[in-house]
Amino acid sequence: MSETAIPPIVDSHCHLDFPDFDGEHDAIIARARNAGVGRMVSICTKLSQEPTVRRLAETYDGVFYSFGLHPMSVGKEAPLTVEQIVQVARHPKMVGIGETGLDYHYTADTAADQQASLRLHIEAARQTRLPLIIHARDADEDMARILTEEFRAGEYSCVMHCFSSGPDLARAALELGFYLSMSGIAAFPRSTELREIFAAAPVDRILVETDSPYLAPPPYRGKRNEPAYVAKTAAVGAEVYGMSYADFARQTSENFDRLFWKVALGATA
């Protein structure tokens, strides 16, 4: 790679099917590629959206997808079965399970059902060997307990997407061999404590993401996020670890390939 080449990087979590991007996918993908983002995972959060997310992955080189039921949709959408998830996972560009998890911030009333849904997704991750993609908000204790219980019952791989929880959950996840994903939140000026949590984690367990269209990093905070902006979060990540941007981009891309092995094998459709 020449000295002037843009280091390649991965957006491990975005939502290209959301209406915020309607009619703009060609331009969004082009801007991502110009920023060095050659690969991205578009996350499906409900069964009804799976055909749309799948078509996006089939249309664009470097776009892959995951499938699951978001915890905030538990109780609103029909529950998934392990068999449904495993069936979708047969698609060559379906590379992860979720996002799933626990969210007690707005939807604590469905906590028991969310926990059941999480365990179901974990079983699908075991059967497919694909990484589990976890959403956790205001549920650190239950999340650490369930992930640990289930891992002891049968191993699986996992990324804590958009990690913004406390140090105890970070420690529990890392002890299980899981990964933490850095979003634009880690780049916010007031996120000092979160950056300290990341700094204490091994750099070979770190991914970067946008969670776009949400959580745009500075200087785009408050605006619509998009995959190209993962480079801004990665620049902050490089500072956290005292690395050059190129080295941090290379390391997080290697981490992504290790976890999302189906992408690394050259999955295409």
The whole-chain average pLDDT of the chain stands at 96
Is 15 marked as a binding-site residue?
A: yes
The pLDDT score that the predictor gives to residue 4 is 53
Residue 225 DSSP SS3: coil
pTM of the full structure? 0.95
Per-residue pLDDT for 184 more than 70?
A: yes
Per-residue pLDDT for 38 more than 60?
A: yes
- 265 pLDDT band, cuts 50/70/90, is confident
Per-residue pLDDT for 2 more than 50?
A: no
Is 25 marked as a binding-site residue?
A: no
Per-residue pLDDT for 135 more than 90?
A: yes
Question: Listing from the earlier edge strand, what are the strands of the sheet with 94-103?
Answer: 9-14, 37-44, 63-67, 94-103, 132-137, 158-160, 179-182, 206-208
Is 105 marked as a binding-site residue?
A: no
The pLDDT score that the predictor gives to residue 5 is 82
Closest by CA position to 64, among listed 84, 48, 81, 44: 44
The pLDDT score that the predictor gives to residue 269 is 37
Is 99 marked as a binding-site residue?
A: yes
Per-residue pLDDT for 66 more than 50?
A: yes
Give residue 26's identity as a one-letter amino acid code.
D
Domain 9-264 sits in which CATH superfamily? Metal-dependent hydrolases (3.20.20.140)
Is 17 marked as a binding-site residue?
A: no
The answer to which of 2-11, 231-240, 244-253, 256-265 has the lowest mean pLDDT is 2-11
- 86 pLDDT band, cuts 50/70/90, is very high
